[in-house]
Structure 1
C-alpha cells in the first residue's frame, strides 16, 4: 500500500469519525490509532530519507589551511 493510500484512508477515517453515523464512527474509532501510527512511521521514514539525500548532495566544507 502506498503512502498516498494510507493518507487517503486516514483522511476518510477521520471524516467518518466526525460526520458518520454511529456504526461508521465506531469503525473509524477502531481504525484511527493504527492508521495514525502507520502514517507517522511512513512520514518519519520519508523525512529521514530526504535528510540523507540532502546530506549526500552537500559539498564538503573546505578546511582553512
Structure 2
C-alpha cells in the first residue's frame, strides 16, 4: 500500500505534518526527495483542503445551531 493510498486513514495532524515535510523536502531535499515530494504534494494538498473545508462546515453548522432564532413581530 502506497502512502497516497494511506492518506484517508491518517489523522488531520498526520496529514498536516506530511504536507509540511513534503513542502520542506521540495525546497531543501536531494533529487530523490524532491521527486518523491513532487509526487505526494498534490494528493496531500487535496486531502488537507478537503479536511479543512469539512472542519469549516462543522464550525458553521455549530454556530448556526447555537444562534437564537430571530423573533418575528406580530
TM exceeds 0.5? yes
Unaligned 5+ segments in structure 1 are: none
TM-score scaled to structure 1, two decimals?
0.97
Residue 7 (str. 1) matches residue 40 (str. 2): no
What root-mean-square deviation, in Å, do the aligned CA atoms of Structure 1 and Structure 2 show? 0.5
Unaligned 5+ segments in structure 2 are: 1-9
Query: How many positions carry a matched residue from both structures?
Result: 65
Q: Runs ≥4 in structure 1, deviation > 4 angstroms? A: none
TM-score scaled to structure 2, two decimals?
0.86
Paired residues for 1:14-25 under 5 Å: 14-25=23-34
